[in-house]
Chains A and B, each alone.
Chain A
């Protein structure tokens, strides 16, 4: 069974620090990787996606992918209290099939 694992947290970081969120996946056929943010009582919203090994930066967010290690991470620089949310990692194959979400990591940014 295809699985995506994340540490449930909570991960607590002080305001202004770098938050590092990690995700591992079991299906080597996964080709597309996504990070979503979900605030309490709201639906998930897409932060960014990554397809290729290496880093992809978008503002304060950097996604890192290592397919050999089956590992995806999300770095949040200059963390703000408004970043406090649950972060979901997701993987799929090239055709958008087998889309699997991780359980999410709860991040708390302390002012």
Chain B
């Protein structure tokens, strides 16, 4: 199946700093990628839809100035959590739409963010 790689898998950062998470589609081009956040024992929460070459579409309640998304190429989208706060500690997951495979969504491995 299609492979989506996410990096880093784990990151610890200090409050007030920024951290960048990368999402790459390794064997297909993804014009659309998605960013989710998931707290323990809770459902996936869609944060934003990232479209190659255009601005991301954010879900209601998600601060676009805090969660910066860049989708500069057909294989890479990045999520930058700015001015991180302990409340931002969560599991962040990206996914990518593989149009060559019936628009199937494939997920990255996820990134655990801990803000101390």
Write the nearest CB–CB distance from A69 to chain B, whole angstroms. 22
- The smallest C-beta distance from B71 to any residue of chain A, in angstroms, reads 15
Chain B interface main SS type: strand
A41 to B38, CA, bound (A): 10
Output the residue of A88, A95, A96 with the most chain B CB within 10 A. Answer: A96
Q: Given A96-B32, A99-B34, do A45 and B103 touch, yes or no (CB 8 Å)?
A: no
| Chain A contacts with B in 72-111, Cβ cutoff 8 A | 88, 90, 92, 94-96, 99, 101, 103-104
Contact A43 B108 (CB under 8 A): yes
- A49, B99: Cα distance in complex, Å: 14
Known contacts A43-B93, A99-B97; is A104 also within 8 Å of B43 by CB?
Answer: yes
- Give chain A nearest CB distance to B82 CB in angstroms: 23
- In Å, the complex CA distance between A82 and B105 comes to 23
Interface size on B, residues (CB 8 A): 20
Whether the Cβ atoms of B105 and A90 lie closer than 8 Å is yes
The 8 Å CB contact of B102, one of A32, A43, A99, is: A32
On A, residues with C-beta under 8 Å from B are 32, 34, 36, 41-46, 49, 51, 88, 90, 92, 94-96, 99, 101, 103-104
12 more contacts with CB within 8 A, not counting A34-B105, A88-B44, A101-B43, are: A41-B91, A43-B91, A43-B93, A94-B103, A95-B103, A96-B32, A96-B99, A99-B34, A99-B97, A99-B105, A101-B46, A103-B43
